[in-house]
Structure 1
Amino acid sequence: MRLAREMEVTRKNFEESLEIVTKAIEEASFITIDGEFTGLNVSGSSHTGPLDTPEERYHKLLEGSTDFLLIQVGICAFIYDGSAKRYTAKPFNFYVFPRPYTRHAPDRRFLCQCSSLDFLVSQGFDFNKLFREGISYLSPPEEKRMREEIEQRHQQHQMSFYSPGLTSPDGGEQTVPKGPIAIPEEHSEFINNICCKVEDFLTNSEDETLELMPCTAFQRKLLYQTLGTKFPQEIHLQSKSGEKNQRFLVVTRVKGEGDIKKKEDQKQQEDFAELDRAVGFTKVMKVISQSGKLVVGHNMLLDLIHLLGHFFYPLPESYEEFKLMARCIFPRLLDTKLMANTQPFKEKILMSGLSDLKKTVEQEPFCKSDVVIPEGFGHHYMETEQLHEAAYDAFITGLCFISMANYLGKFQDPPAGILPPASPLLEPFVNKLFMMRLIDIPYMDLTGPDLKPTRDHVFHVTFPATWRTSDLFQLFSPFGNIHITWLDDVSSFVSLAKKEAADSVLKTLCKKGTPYRITTYDEFKRRGKEKNGRLTSSGHSVSKKRPSSSEDVDIPSKKQKQKSLNVNAAPFQSKLTPTNTPEKADPESAAREEESMSTAEEEQGKGDTGTSSEVDKAEKMFEVPETWE
Structure 2
Amino acid sequence: MDVTISNWEEIKPDLLQDLECCNFVSFDFELTGLSLTQPPMFYNLDLYYKFHKESVSSFLTIQLGVTTHHYSEKNDKWTANSYNIWMFPISSRKDPKIKTFSCSAFEFLRSHNFDFNKWIDEGIPWKRTKEFEDGLENIKKDQKLIEEWVKKEMSLQERAKGPFPQTQNKIKKEQVKQQVLEEYYKICEQVSEWVDSEGKEFKYNQRSPFARRYWYQKFRKKYPNLLIDTSYENGKHMFCLKKCNEEEMKDHYLQKIQDKIFYQHEQLEITEIFLIIKEKQIPIVGHNCWLDLLHIYNAFIDDLPETLQEFKTKVKENFGPIYDTKIITELSGSEKLNGIGATNTSLSFLYNEVKELKKPQIEISADRYLSSEFCHEAGYDSLMTGVIFLRISEILLQNEENEGQEQNIRKRKLNAIRCDQDFVLKSIVNQEFNGKVKMFRCMPNMLNLFGQDIKINLDRMFYLSDFNKEWDNNKIFKTFDSQNNFFKINWIDDTSCFIELRNKNKISEFTKQFVNNKNIKKKKNQEYLLITYVDYQKQFF
Does TM, scored on the shorter chain, surpass 0.5?
A: yes
Q: Which residue of 1 aligns with 2:122?
A: 133
Q: Which residue of 2 aligns with 1:540?
A: 540
Contact preservation (8 Å) 2:66, 2:83: yes
CA separation of 1:117/1:54 partners in 2, compared to 1, >3 Å: closer, same or farther? same
**SS of 1:36 mapped into structure 2:** strand
Q: Are positions 1:494 and 2:488 aligned together? A: no
Q: Are positions 1:212 and 2:204 aligned together? A: yes
Q: Which residue of 2 aligns with 1:434?
A: 438
Contact preservation (8 Å) 1:166, 1:180: no
Q: Are positions 1:331 and 2:325 aligned together? A: no
The residue type paired with residue 320 of structure 2 is P
Q: From 326, 337, 346, give the equivalent of 1:353.
A: 346
Q: Deviations along 1:413-464, whole A, 9 cap, x unmatched?
A: 36868955321752111110011234x523101122211245665423465x
Q: Which residue of 1 aligns with 2:307?
A: 318
When the two structures are superposed, what TM-score results if normalisation uses the length of structure 2?
A: 0.80
Contact preservation (8 Å) 2:40, 2:492: no
Q: Deviations along 1:32-78, whole A, 9 cap, x unmatched?
A: 111111111124xxx43344333222121112222211121111111
Measure the CA separation in 2 of the matches of 1:225 and 1:437: 61
- CA shift, 1:93, in A, is 1.8
- CA shift, 1:119, in A, is 1.7
Q: Deviations along 1:573-614, whole A, 9 cap, x unmatched?
A: xxxxxxxxxxxxxxxxxxxxxxxxxxxxxxxxxxxxxxxxxx
Q: Deviations along 1:340-376, whole A, 9 cap, x unmatched?
A: 222333764111111111011246xx656421134xx
Measure the CA separation in 1 of the matches of 2:240 and 2:197: 17
Please give the root-mean-square deviation of Cα atoms over the aligned residues, in Å.
3.8
Contact preservation (8 Å) 1:139, 1:282: yes
Q: Are positions 1:399 and 2:387 aligned together? A: yes
**SS of 1:433 mapped into structure 2:** strand
Measure the CA separation in 2 of the matches of 1:68 and 1:185: 42
Q: How does 1:111-130 map to 2 (within 5 A)?
A: 111-130=100-119
Is 339-348 or 80-89 further displaced after alignment?
A: 339-348
Is 54-63 or 126-135 further displaced after alignment?
A: 126-135
- CA shift, 1:18, in A, is 3.0
Q: Are positions 1:410 and 2:398 aligned together? A: yes
Q: From 51, 56, 63, give the equivalent of 1:65.
A: 56
- CA shift, 1:123, in A, is 1.8
Identical positions, percent: 24
Measure the CA separation in 2 of the matches of 1:145 and 1:431: 29
Contact preservation (8 Å) 1:97, 1:135: yes
The residue type paired with residue 471 of structure 2 is T
Q: Are positions 1:469 and 2:471 aligned together? A: yes
- CA shift, 1:174, in A, is 6.7
The residue type paired with residue 499 of structure 2 is V
Q: Which residue of 2 aligns with 1:533?
A: none
Q: Which residue of 2 aligns with 1:449?
A: 452
The residue type paired with residue 389 of structure 2 is F
Contact preservation (8 Å) 2:26, 2:66: yes
CA separation of 1:474/1:272 partners in 2, compared to 1, >3 Å: closer, same or farther? same
Measure the CA separation in 2 of the matches of 1:133 and 1:249: 31
Q: Deviations along 1:8-43, whole A, 9 cap, x unmatched?
A: 223343344333122212221211111111111124
**SS of 2:134 mapped into structure 1:** helix
Measure the CA separation in 1 of the matches of 2:183 and 2:142: 26
Q: Which residue of 1 aligns with 2:239?
A: 249
Is 185-194 or 472-481 further displaced after alignment?
A: 472-481
- CA shift, 1:482, in A, is 5.5
**SS of 2:58 mapped into structure 1:** coil
Measure the CA separation in 1 of the matches of 2:113 and 2:450: 38
Measure the CA separation in 1 of the matches of 2:87 and 2:174: 45
**SS of 1:25 mapped into structure 2:** helix
Contact preservation (8 Å) 1:462, 1:516: no
The residue type paired with residue 385 of structure 2 is T
- CA shift, 1:89, in A, is 0.8
Q: Which residue of 2 aligns with 1:423?
A: 427
CA separation of 1:319/1:225 partners in 2, compared to 1, >3 Å: closer, same or farther? same
**SS of 1:248 mapped into structure 2:** strand
The residue type paired with residue 110 of structure 2 is V
Q: How does 1:124-273 map to 2 (within 5 A)?
A: 124-149=113-138, 175-176=167-168, 178=170, 184=176, 186=178, 187-204=180-197, 206=199, 208-240=200-232, 242-243=234-235, 246-252=236-242, 254-273=243-262
The residue type paired with residue 433 of structure 1 is V
**SS of 1:66 mapped into structure 2:** helix
Consecutive unaligned residues of structure 1, counting only runs of 5 or more, are 1-6, 529-535, 542-629
The residue type paired with residue 344 of structure 2 is M
Q: Are positions 1:483 and 2:486 aligned together? A: no
Size of the aligned set, in residue pairs, is 502
Contact preservation (8 Å) 1:72, 1:96: yes
- CA shift, 1:486, in A, is 4.3
Measure the CA separation in 1 of the matches of 2:187 and 2:377: 54
CA separation of 1:108/1:286 partners in 2, compared to 1, >3 Å: closer, same or farther? same
Q: Deviations along 1:243-263, whole A, 9 cap, x unmatched?
A: 2xx5331334x2334323322
- CA shift, 1:324, in A, is 1.8
Q: Are positions 1:96 and 2:87 aligned together? A: yes
- CA shift, 1:153, in A, is 7.3
Q: Which residue of 2 aligns with 1:585?
A: none
Contact preservation (8 Å) 1:164, 1:229: no
CA separation of 1:174/1:223 partners in 2, compared to 1, >3 Å: closer, same or farther? closer
Contact preservation (8 Å) 2:312, 2:449: yes
CA separation of 1:454/1:305 partners in 2, compared to 1, >3 Å: closer, same or farther? same
Contact preservation (8 Å) 2:160, 2:225: no
- CA shift, 1:117, in A, is 2.4
Contact preservation (8 Å) 1:458, 1:520: no
- CA shift, 1:295, in A, is 0.9
CA separation of 1:507/1:221 partners in 2, compared to 1, >3 Å: closer, same or farther? closer
Contact preservation (8 Å) 2:42, 2:48: no
The residue type paired with residue 475 of structure 1 is T
Measure the CA separation in 2 of the matches of 1:291 and 1:199: 58
**SS of 2:482 mapped into structure 1:** helix
Q: How does 1:101-112 map to 2 (within 5 A)?
A: 106-112=95-101
Is 48-57 or 412-421 further displaced after alignment?
A: 412-421
Contact preservation (8 Å) 1:285, 1:311: yes
Q: Are positions 1:303 and 2:292 aligned together? A: yes
- CA shift, 1:182, in A, is 6.7
Measure the CA separation in 2 of the matches of 1:198 and 1:263: 21
CA separation of 1:140/1:163 partners in 2, compared to 1, >3 Å: closer, same or farther? farther
CA separation of 1:19/1:239 partners in 2, compared to 1, >3 Å: closer, same or farther? closer
Contact preservation (8 Å) 1:300, 1:434: yes
Q: Which residue of 2 aligns with 1:39?
A: 33
When the two structures are superposed, what TM-score results if normalisation uses the length of structure 1?
A: 0.70
CA separation of 1:395/1:94 partners in 2, compared to 1, >3 Å: closer, same or farther? same
**SS of 2:331 mapped into structure 1:** coil
Measure the CA separation in 1 of the matches of 2:111 and 2:349: 20
CA separation of 1:447/1:147 partners in 2, compared to 1, >3 Å: closer, same or farther? closer
Measure the CA separation in 1 of the matches of 2:221 and 2:195: 15
Measure the CA separation in 2 of the matches of 1:167 and 1:264: 8
**SS of 1:450 mapped into structure 2:** coil
- Greater helix proportion: 2
The residue type paired with residue 469 of structure 1 is W
CA separation of 1:502/1:179 partners in 2, compared to 1, >3 Å: closer, same or farther? closer
Measure the CA separation in 2 of the matches of 1:212 and 1:296: 53
Contact preservation (8 Å) 1:431, 1:447: yes
CA separation of 1:144/1:453 partners in 2, compared to 1, >3 Å: closer, same or farther? closer
Contact preservation (8 Å) 1:165, 1:225: no
Q: Are positions 1:386 and 2:392 aligned together? A: no
